[in-house]
């Protein structure tokens, strides 16, 4: 099980929709795709410009941090 904090602590790791759902809602991810897509979309809009979330093939997401210089 992935915890919500794991996403931010492990930039570059891929997390599936199911893992994200389980980390946020703490329940079995049955038919969760639309919920996760909606939440990720809202988060991305709020983070623009410089959105740290990237989509990956097969319904996965990863959190990418840009080093501060």
- Domain ranges, ordered by start, for the chain: 4-63
- Whether 3 has a pLDDT exceeding 60, the answer reads no
- pTM confidence score: 0.64
As a whole number of angstroms, the distance between CA 7 and CA 3 comes to 7
- Whether 14 has a pLDDT exceeding 60, the answer reads yes
pLDDT digits (tens, 9 = 90+) for 26-42: 888 777 777 777 877 88
As a whole number of angstroms, the distance between CA 6 and CA 28 comes to 18
């Amino acid at each position: 099980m992935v915890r919500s904090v794991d996403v931010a602590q492990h930039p570059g790791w891929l997390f599936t929709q199911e893992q994200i759902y389980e980390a946020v809602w703490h329940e079995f991810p049955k038919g969760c795709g639309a919920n996760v897509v909606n939440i990720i979309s809202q988060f991305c809009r709020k983070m623009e410009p410089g959105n740290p979330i990237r989509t990956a093939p097969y319904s996965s997401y990863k959190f990418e941090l840009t080093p501060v210089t």
